[in-house]
Structure 1
Amino acid sequence: MVTGYAITWYISLTTNSGLWLALATVSTLLPQVLISLFGGAWADRYSRKWLIMGADGAIALLTLGLAILWSSGLRSLWWLLLFAALRSIGQGIQQPAVSSAYPQLVPENELTRINGLNQTLMSLSTLLSPLLGGLILANFNLYWALMIDVITAVIELLCMTKIKLQPVSVIANSALKNERVLIAGLKYLFNNLALRRLFTINGLAYLLMTPATVLSLLLIQRQFGASVTNLTLQEIIWAGGSIISGLIVAKQKQFKNNAHVLALSVGGFAIAMMLMGSMPNLALYLVTMFLAGWCTPFMMTTQAVIIQTTAEPDFMGRTFAANQMISNLMLLLGSLTLGPLADSVPLVLIFTVCGVLLFSVAIWYLRVSK
Structure 2
Amino acid sequence: MQLHWQKQGYLFLASQNISLFGTMVTGYAITWYISLTTNSGLWLALATVSTLLPQILISLISGSWADRYSRKWLIIGADGGIALLTLGLSIIWELGFHSLPWLLIFAALRSVGQGIQQPAVSSAYPQLVPEKELTRINGINQTLMSLSTLLSPMVGGLILANFDLYWALMIDVVTAIVELLCMFQIKLKPVKSDKKQTPSTDFLTGFKYLFGNSILRRLFTINALSFLLMTPATVLSLLLIQRQFGATVSYLTLQEVVWASGSIMSGLIVAKHKAFKNNSRVLGLAIGAFAITMVLMGFMSNIWLYLGAMFLAGWSMPFIMTTQAVIIQTTAAPDFMGRTFANYQMIGNLMLLIGSLTLGPLADVIPLIWIFITCGLLLLISAIWYLKATQY
**The two structures share one fold, judged by TM-score above 0.5:** yes
Structure 1 residue 204: deviation in Å? 0.5
CA distance in 1, matches of 2:202, 2:376: 38
Deviations 1:23-74 (CA, angstroms, capped at 9, x unpaired): 0000000000001131110000000000001001000000011111111111
Q: How does 1:167-246 map to 2 (within 5 A)?
A: 167-171=190-194, 173=195, 175-246=196-267
Structure 1 residue 13: deviation in Å? 0.3
**Partner of residue 146, structure 1:** 169
CA distance in 1, matches of 2:115, 2:70: 16
CA distance in 2, matches of 1:96, 1:262: 21
Q: How does 1:330-369 map to 2 (within 5 A)?
A: 330-369=351-390
Give the letter aligned to residue 363 of structure 2. Answer: A
Structure 1 residue 362: deviation in Å? 0.1
Give the letter aligned to residue 367 of structure 1. Answer: K
CA distance in 1, matches of 2:230, 2:224: 10
Structure 1 residue 212: deviation in Å? 0.1
Contact 1:55 1:91 in 2 (8 A): yes
Q: How does 1:1-370 map to 2 (within 5 A)?
A: 1-171=24-194, 173=195, 175-370=196-391
Residue aligned with 1:277, SS: helix
CA distance in 1, matches of 2:211, 2:269: 33
Structure 1 residue 176: deviation in Å? 2.6
Query: Structure 1 stretches of 5 or more lacking a match?
Result: none
Residue aligned with 2:258, SS: helix
Contact 1:266 1:359 in 2 (8 A): yes
CA distance in 2, matches of 1:179, 1:328: 20
Identity of aligned residues (%): 75
Deviations 1:90-127 (CA, angstroms, capped at 9, x unpaired): 00000000000000011111110100000000000110
Residue aligned with 1:285, SS: helix
CA distance in 2, matches of 1:361, 1:317: 27
Structure 1 residue 274: deviation in Å? 0.4
Structure 1 residue 170: deviation in Å? 2.7
Residue aligned with 2:299, SS: coil
Structure 1 residue 293: deviation in Å? 0.3
Contact 1:244 1:294 in 2 (8 A): yes
Structure 1 residue 182: deviation in Å? 1.5
CA distance in 1, matches of 2:166, 2:253: 19
Deviations 1:73-97 (CA, angstroms, capped at 9, x unpaired): 1110000000000000000000000
Give the letter aligned to residue 125 of structure 1. Answer: S
Structure 1 residue 211: deviation in Å? 0.2
Structure 1 residue 22: deviation in Å? 0.3
Contact 1:3 1:145 in 2 (8 A): yes
CA distance in 1, matches of 2:192, 2:218: 29
CA distance in 2, matches of 1:366, 1:329: 24
Residue aligned with 1:317, SS: helix
CA distance in 2, matches of 1:308, 1:51: 19
Deviations 1:227-274 (CA, angstroms, capped at 9, x unpaired): 000000000000000000000000011000000000000000000100
